[in-house]
Amino acid sequence: MKNNFVHIFINILDRNHDKYLGIKKQLSKTDNHHCIDIDLSEKSMNRFRDVEFGIKKYFRELYYYSVFQELEEMLIKAINKSKDTTIVYLQDEGVWSEFLKHLIKKYNLNLIHFVNVQHGFLMKNSYSPFRDKIINSINSIYKLLLGFPKFGIGPFKGPFNYYLLFHEELFDEIPESSKAIHCPNLINRSFIDNYHLETLNTKVVHKSTLIALQHNVLFGHTSISFVESVKSLIPIVDLLKDSFGYDIFLRKHPGMNKKYFVKVLKDVGLYSKIIIDEAPIEVSIKRSPFILSFFSTILFESTLVGRVPIIINNYSFSLSKFPVQYDTIDLKKNLEGQLDRIFNAKTTSNEAKDEVNWVKLIEDDLTDV
């Protein structure tokens, strides 16, 4: 007799691509695996966007009480309804995985299995143990007083039994108590399928580049402001446009205010030299063979569909934190020679099959556990 399994998928935010889709497709072909979606309300998702993409995230206690309360009620209700082996999936880490830790302790959820599905580009962890202790101390006070944590500690610090990852190079970051699984096709199935579906009629502009920018986050990965980051692009934009005759499509982070983005472009003198890219991400990647960014998930996504990812090194962040080393343009070196080399690079693409039979893996691991 087969064991039954309940899979609970938590969605904190509606994203362009569903990182759970590949897993759900496999589960849908069985009769003993059942899926439950937990989606925050539109009001809570809007609050997430407002808080997490700006300075407000450092004052979550002023905004998130109802959001955490909503998530807690829905998750515990779903878990309590299940009489079968239960697996909970979360795409986010940070404060959300710290909140899961709190719920596990509060409701004694030690028999529940937790899976983290990577949803964005992750740098290698460089935080000190002392920092982690300080954050844990602060979070303990907030959980006692308000019932939820204030800060996240960072990736690979959560209560997860499994980490589904883009890069094998991140395996060393995973705690020994967790299982790391390299399955970029599985967790990017939504992007891959949408790419082929949405770009059937997309014209490739061979002499074009797409530059995707990071969000303007206080205390983020860069040591300079967003304005300074954009300024650092001027030499490469001028060279691409004037010497190579390329079109430059510039794409803002989806969480960035468009008016602010346009203002920065005008202030630094780039507005008339670039094309603001507002196409669906699949179309953008198909249209431009070369994808440039300081750091962005788009660098990785481009490798799945035969595009060339290029890191722009303006020395405001450490390349040693990247899990893999893509082609790099060093803004302090001869740009023309670097671009000549990159534009002659060959591309490969291998996005056809899922790397993991998730159903078999779960059944082998968790049957009679």
Rounded Cα distance between 135 and 299, Å, is 31
CATH of the domain spanning 193-343: 3.40.50.2000
Q: Give residue 243's identity as a one-letter amino acid code.
A: S
Report whether pLDDT(32) > 90: yes
Which one has a higher pLDDT value, 128 or 101? 101
Domains 5-187+353-366 and 193-343 alike in fold: yes
Average pLDDT over residues 199-219: 85
Q: Which pLDDT does position 347 carry in this prediction?
A: 67
Query: pLDDT tens, 223-251?
Result: 788 899 999 999 999 999 999 999 999 99
Phi/psi class of residue 219: alpha, beta or left (left: φ > 0; alpha: ψ in -120 to 50)?
Answer: left
Report the top-level CATH class of 5-187+353-366: alpha beta
Q: Which residues pair with 249 in a beta bridge?
A: 210, 275
Read off the pTM.
0.87
Report whether pLDDT(219) > 60: no
Rounded Cα distance between 111 and 88, Å, is 11
Note whether 87 and 113 are within 8 A (CB): yes
Beta-carbon contacts of 164 under 8 Å, excluding residues fewer than 6 positions away, are 115, 116, 117, 118, 181, 183, 186, 187
Query: pLDDT tens, 125-159?
Result: 777 889 899 999 999 999 999 999 999 887 888 89
Percent of the chain residues topping a pLDDT of 70: 95
Which one has a higher pLDDT value, 369 or 5? 5
Rounded Cα distance between 265 and 168, Å, is 37
In this predicted structure, which of 94-103, 193-202, 216-225 has the lowest mean pLDDT?
Answer: 216-225
Average pLDDT over residues 56-84: 93
Report whether pLDDT(352) > 90: no
Note whether 38 and 120 are within 8 A (CB): no
Q: Which pLDDT does position 55 carry in this prediction?
A: 81
**What residue spans define the domains of the chain?**
5-187+353-366, 193-343
Average pLDDT, the chain: 90
DSSP structural state of residue 334: -
Average pLDDT over residues 86-94: 92
Percent of the chain residues topping a pLDDT of 90: 66
Which residues in 243-341 belong to E strands, given as ranges? 247-251, 275-276, 290-293, 308-313, 327-330
Confidence band (pLDDT; 50, 70, 90) for 333?
Answer: very high
Separate counts of helices (H) and strands (E) for the chain: 14, 12
**Closest listed residue to residue 336, CA positions, set 247, 235, 210, 248:** 235
